[in-house]
A and B are shown apart, each in its own frame.
Chain A
């Protein structure tokens, strides 16, 4: 318990070696729809995130990006295939995971401090220690003075910073982010991305960052995974060899290498976005299944696997 009271900066050295790799092989997830038919959200997904690697997943809407995250977090079970974190098959909630949701997942009836304290409190840390750690993290994300505010009293960007502190307070070895900054305005988003990178570089957890913003993905990640239109599977993987630390994300955007990578990834992504768009734009097919199988066949066979 003693390291809990220390500042998160000091313990970063210990955590570095703890960051766990993530390995998905042949993962398929099917859901039973309310109408009784079976919907395949993702099919045969293969993906490896090395310990400490920052991996972004991009893909058209509804391609199962979020589903992939819930499987890694252990919130849901894969229908087929194996999901491993730190070399262990995921069963139950994955330990040492931070999760940031697209929507606000802060408890509205708790104060900022109460929300950030949840992580240590659930691990049985004493209230006093949990409070001290939470205050430390509020200082890190620049929210000192707001600890007794309720979430509705904060701006969207501030709420995201609280979520970030709450997700990172347990010093997770993997960090899963589901379009965390999707609802923010462009300026706040850029600012939050910088902040996220700075925090990530301290403890280097393995990250899966789901987004539909390609620029954001390339600016942040070591590796960008493009997923196909539903049922989602890995279409291509791109290593982002931009130097680290990246600095401000707004500036890295003008790096020649950034533009080059952007062009490459966008070429792959565009087909999928188009396929997903056409499916919703076309007149509805006679049955749900027919519509799905047609779009599946439209997927180009350039499917890349693994890292």
Chain B
């Protein structure tokens, strides 16, 4: 090796060190997970501009769709009798707020549906997690029950709603059970899969460290399956609302499903849409709450490099 080569190497080493050392010092000093950014860089400004454009485009989309709907129905290109009209939907809301629905105050109807959905969600999720973890842990049980669970899952479970109405009456219970059944399978399959996917090494490691079977489940299996379980909650809450609404359509004395069914009978398109909007607001609120829960419980996960908001 020539002297020049040696010098080049030394220079390269020094360059590497000068890059590494401040980075190391920074890593030592900065609190975990925080990267301090100096004066605003071009990247940050560009990201902000992009965000502003995104929100503008989002609002514009809404305006075009709602405005177009209003316009086309106003011009009678589309018949508002069959397809509703945004202004009619707003009037419907006012009517419901002032005079209530045919079955009572709109708030009562919303509360009835929400209670059914929430109870069904709670039971379904609890049952799904318990059975998912149990069957995921006990291979024999999974092998015995597997085909039956698959068969039950293949059934169009909405039909069970009729059975539940016959058996449990027109009250809350039948809707809760229907919602719970729908939720159960979604959560169950995810919990089961999550438990099956647990890294064998992690389990072996804590077993060697002296963990009991319960401690293995508590410290390894459940946290590991949680990623799967929480992912299923988003879908599961949708199913809980479907269960409650369908149950009410099939037979009820209160609830948004009944309001929709009644509006359908009266050819009241605006009433159907208005109820739909309410359901959408409930679902979006729940989605937001589940998203927050997800971020909180899964804080340990490495952040994605590009944080693209999911749709």
Which residues in A have some Cβ–Cβ distance to B below 8 Å?
A: 70, 73, 75, 93-95, 97-99, 101, 103-105, 107-110, 118-119, 122-123, 145-146, 148-150, 152-153, 166, 170
In the complex, which residue of chain B has the Cβ closest to the Cβ of A102? B201
B210, closest chain A residue (CB): A122
Per the bound structure, the CA–CA distance linking A168 and B287 in Å amounts to 44
Q: Which of B204, B220, B300 contacts A150 (CB under 8 A)?
A: B300
**Chain B residues whose CB sits within 8 angstroms of the CB of A166 once the complex forms:** 209
The 5 A-B residue pairs with the shortest CB-CB distance, nearest first, are A105-B205, A122-B210, A152-B302, A109-B300, A99-B208
In the complex, chain B residues 237-251 whose Cβ is within 8 Å of any chain A Cβ: none
Residues of B with C-beta under 8 A to A94: 208
Q: Please pick, from A98, A119, A149, the residue contacting B32 in the complex, using a CB distance under 8 A.
A: A149
A107–B208 touching, CB < 8 Å: no
B32 and A75 within 8 A (CB): no
Q: How far is B201's CA from A166's CA once the two chains are assembled, in angstroms?
A: 14
A-B contact pairs, 6 of them (CB 8 A): A99-B205, A103-B199, A108-B301, A118-B209, A150-B300, A153-B302
Which of B202, B206, B210, B302 has the largest number of chain A CB atoms within 10 A? B210
Residues in B neighbouring A107, C-beta threshold 8 A: 202, 206, 219-220, 223
By size class, the interface of chain B is 20 to 34
Is B33 part of the contact surface with A, judged by Cβ < 8 Å? yes
Q: A70 vs B211: C-alpha distance in the bound complex, in angstroms? A: 16
Q: Is B215 an interface residue (CB 8 A)?
A: yes
- For B301, the chain A residues whose CB sits under 8 A away are 108, 152
Does B207 touch A at the CB level, under 8 Å? yes
B306 within 8 A of A: no
Q: Do B219 and A118 touch across chains, with their CB atoms under 8 A apart?
A: yes
Whether the pair B208, A93 counts as a contact (CB closer than 8 A) is: yes
Chain B, Cβ-Cβ closest to A146: B32
Residue of B nearest to A172 (CB): B208
B300 touches A122 (CB 8 A): no
Q: How far is the CB of B287 from chain A (nearest CB, A)?
A: 24
A109, A150, A170: which has the most chain B beta carbons within 10 Å? A109
B215 and A122 contact, CB distance less than 8 A: yes
The distance from the CB of A116 to the nearest CB of chain B, in whole angstroms, is: 10
Interface residue from B33, B204, B215, B300 paired with A105 (Cβ < 8 Å)? B204
* B206 in contact with A75 (CB, 8 Å): no
Chain A nearest Cβ from B175, distance in angstroms: 36
Residue B28, interface by CB 8 Å: yes
List chain B positions with a Cβ less than 8 A from chain A: 28, 32-33, 199, 201-202, 204-212, 215, 219-220, 223-224, 300-302
Residues of A within 8 A of B199 (CB): 103, 105
Cβ-neighbour of A170 out of B201, B204, B209, B220 (below 8 A): B209
| Chain A neighbourhood of B33, CB < 8 A | 153
Q: Which residue of B lies closest to A111 (CB)?
A: B300
Q: Are A108 and B205 in contact (CB under 8 A)?
A: no
Q: Which residues of B contact A146 (CB under 8 A)?
A: 32
B224: A residues at CB distance < 8 A: 109
Nearest residue, chain A, Cβ from B28: A145
B197 to chain A, nearest CB (A): 13
- A105 pairs with B202, CB closer than 8 A: yes
Q: Are B28 and A75 in contact (CB under 8 A)?
A: no
CA distance A99 to B211 in the complex (A): 14
Contact of B300 among A70, A95, A98, A110 (CB under 8 A): A110
With beta carbons under 8 angstroms apart, the residue of B201, B202, B208 that contacts A97 is B208
**B213 → A minimal CB distance (Å):** 11
- B207 pairs with A75, CB closer than 8 A: yes
User: How far is the CB of B72 from the nearest CB of chain A, in Å?
Assistant: 52
Chain A residues with CB under 8 Å of B208's CB are 73, 75, 93-94, 97-99
A101 to B199, CA, bound (A): 12
Task: List B contacts of A118 (CB < 8 A).
Answer: 206, 209, 211, 219
CB-CB under 8 A from B209, the residues of chain A are 118-119, 122, 166, 170
Contact assessment for A93 and B210 in the assembled complex, using a CB-CB cutoff below 8 Å: yes
Decide: A148 near B32, CB < 8 A? Known: A99-B204, A107-B220.
Answer: yes
Complexed CA–CA distance, A146 and B27 (Å):
9
Complex Cα–Cα for A110 and B209 (A):
15
Smallest distance from the beta carbon of A162 to chain B beta carbons, Å?
A: 12
- The interface residues of chain B lying within 8 Å CB-to-CB of A99 are 204-205, 208
Which of these, B206, B212, B215, B300, contacts A108 with CB under 8 Å?
B300
**B32 near A123: Cβ-Cβ < 8 Å:** no
B residues in contact with A148, CB < 8 Å: 32
* Residues from chain A with Cβ under 8 Å of B204 in the complex: 70, 73, 75, 99, 101, 105
Contact A105 B201 (CB under 8 A): yes
Quick check: B210 and A153 within 8 Å, CB to CB? no
Chain A CB count within 10 A is highest, among B33, B201, B205, B211, for B205
